[in-house]
Amino acid sequence: MKIVIVDESPIRSLILQEGLRDAGFTQVERIDEMHNLLKQIYAIDPDVILIDLENPSRDTLEQMFQVSRAVRRPIAMFVDQSDTASIQASVDAGVSAYIVDGLKKERIKSILDLCISRFEAFSKLQDDLERAKSDLEERKTIERAKGILMKAKKLSEDEAYKMMRGAAMRENRKIIDIARSVITAAEMFK
């Protein structure tokens, strides 16, 4: 597993590096400046991102938001002090684990495991949500196509569906593709 540590402080990042090394992680790289952070992370292409900050600023959190949306990796953020707004902003930015005053090398492995588990659970939820949205859109499209066929051919809802299903089977296509074709054809004849 390749891990990147984002930390401007060499002393603080050494604690993370030692904790990771003790836990058996050998592919660890450090980014020591926030300038062009996304580009640097892209170049390294890590599996996990660990960020160590004393106090996250709005600009830093905005960069984290860009990073989390662009690379979709587990992110753990270590901070010395925090407030509710910073925690909420960090979670909104895609941080999987937000650790306040917890920078101890003995805790790194368990924090890393938690971070990865939370990221995977959240990713699964996002994938499920996207799939549900897609299914709903397909269902709406099929319903609209059935309505067009029902009106144009004076069919019942069941007959319209059977007609699309039959066309899909004959043409070896998905029913959603047939429904889209029906809608496209209907729009051409308007």
Query: Distance of alpha carbon 120 from its chain centroid, rounded?
Result: 9
Mark the ranges of the chain whose per-residue pLDDT is less than 70.
54-58, 61, 102
Helix (H, G, I), strand (E, B) or coil at 49: strand
pLDDT for residue 55: 66
Domains of the chain, CATH where assigned: 2-103 (3.40.50.2300), 131-188 (1.10.10.10)
pLDDT for residue 46: 93
User: Hey, how many other C-beta atoms are within 10 angstroms of the C-beta on 65?
Assistant: 16
pLDDT for residue 151: 95
pLDDT for residue 56: 64
CA 39-31-22 angle, 5° bins = 135
Q: Are 157 and 122 in contact (CB under 8 A)?
A: no
pLDDT for residue 89: 78
Render pLDDT for 97-128 as a digit per residue (tens, 0 to 9). 888 876 777 888 888 888 899 999 988 999 99
* Calpha distance 8→40 (Å, rounded): 14
User: Hey, how many other C-beta atoms are within 10 angstroms of the C-beta on 84?
Assistant: 7
Q: Quick check: pTM over 0.75?
A: no
| Tokens describing residue 112 | 């890393």
| Tokens describing residue 35 | 């300038």
Residues in the chain: 190
